[in-house]
Amino acid sequence: MFNKEMNFLKANNKDAYDWLMHPSRPKHRWARHTFDTSIKVDMVTNNLVECFNSWISDERDKPILTLLEAVRLKLMLRFSKMRQVVRGLSNSITYSTRKRLAENDNVPFMIVIPSSITDFQVVDNGHNFSVYLAGEKKGCDCKVWDISGIPYKHVLKCIGYNRDVVADYCSEYFKRDKYMKAYQGSIPVLPDVKHLVDAEDHTVLPPIVKRKAGRPKLSRRREEGEKAAGPTRGRKRNSVTCFHCGCIGHNRKSCQGASVGSNKRNQTNVLDFQN
């Protein structure tokens, strides 16, 4: 399946194919079917990092100790909040997992042919999928269940056929017990920094900071090829066209006049216009 689609891409867009297949982009980083099946994560985006980045956005540009203190307090609160969420779980599987299961279950007609109590052949839209609910081969041909740890549509149909409990087929990582374990620790509370006993004769002086030219940058450094940040809310700016020289990217006031072309004739024209 993967090779078929890649060949299709190769035939239609050789550049895109070469970009993907470049040795600096090994397949196990982006092609889900090659992911490690023991991790149970099928994410291919860096949303997690983006999310953290925005979570600390108010403190990101603060001095390191202020930043760390803010992160400490945020974590303290989050751990406590998550413990409350886990306590409130009525089901043995987490809320987001239940949501994903509902999405996976929302599929049209499929044919389920049992071979044994654990092995099934599922026909979905003309394609055959072998599903093994247990045993050494446990998994589905489409690999979604193997990699995500959450039963996908083919597996759900077989579980339904057996009238089994879906939760028993979810990875333990999506269950209440593991969740509880993840958040069972807590960040200790600390007294105010002003109450710390001063170490005599060991006054720590602030480091000598050399101020760099220009305003300190706030935005995260982006990787090469990463999309630039979009316009922030309420500050959408269309590209301007210069009334003076007709170029895009500056206006009449900031016009340098020379960007029309470097040849003399154009230069003279611009000057003529100014006079």
Q: Who contacts 274 (Cβ-Cβ below 8 Å, separation ≥6)?
A: 257
Residue 86 engages Zn ion in binding (rule: CB under 5 A): no
Long-range contacts of 233-240 (CB under 8 A, 24+ apart): none
Among 86, 158, 170, 242, binds Zn ion (CB under 5 A): 242
- Least Å distance, CB 117 to Zn ion, is 18
Instruction: Yes or no: say if 134 and 184 are a contact pair by the CB < 8 Å rule.
Output: no
Which x/- pattern over 187-226 shows residues binding Zn ion (rule: CB under 5 A)?
Answer: ----------------------------------------
Residue 255 engages Zn ion in binding (rule: CB under 5 A): yes
- Least Å distance, CB 258 to Zn ion, is 9
- Least Å distance, CB 124 to Zn ion, is 8
Which C-beta is closer to Zn ion: that of 136 or that of 201? Answer: 136
Number of residues binding to Zn ion, judged by CB under 5 A? 10
Count of beta carbons in the 10 Å neighbourhood of residue 253: 8
Residue 107 engages Zn ion in binding (rule: CB under 5 A): no
Residues 256, 267: Cα–Cα separation, whole Å:
11
Alpha helices in the chain (DSSP H): 2-12, 14-21, 47-55, 64-87, 95-105, 144-148, 153-162, 176-182, 264-274
Residue 226 carries which DSSP code?
P
Residues 178, 83: Cα–Cα separation, whole Å:
12
Q: Who contacts 167 (Cβ-Cβ below 8 Å, separation ≥6)?
A: 91, 92, 93, 175
Alpha helices in 90-136 (DSSP H): 95-105
- Residues recorded for the chain: 275
- Least Å distance, CB 129 to Zn ion, is 5
- Least Å distance, CB 91 to Zn ion, is 23
- Least Å distance, CB 159 to Zn ion, is 12
Which C-beta is closer to Zn ion: that of 93 or that of 140? Answer: 140
Binders of Zn ion among residues 139 to 158 (CB under 5 A) are 140, 142, 152, 154
Residues 109, 112: Cα–Cα separation, whole Å:
10
Window contacting Zn ion (CB under 5 A); options: 28-36, 73-81, 89-97, 254-262? 254-262
Window contacting Zn ion (CB under 5 A); options: 68-76, 188-196, 226-234, 247-255? 247-255
- Least Å distance, CB 262 to Zn ion, is 14
Among 40, 100, 157, 244, binds Zn ion (CB under 5 A): 244
The site for Zn ion (CB under 5 A) is made up of 129, 140, 142, 152, 154, 242, 244-245, 247, 255
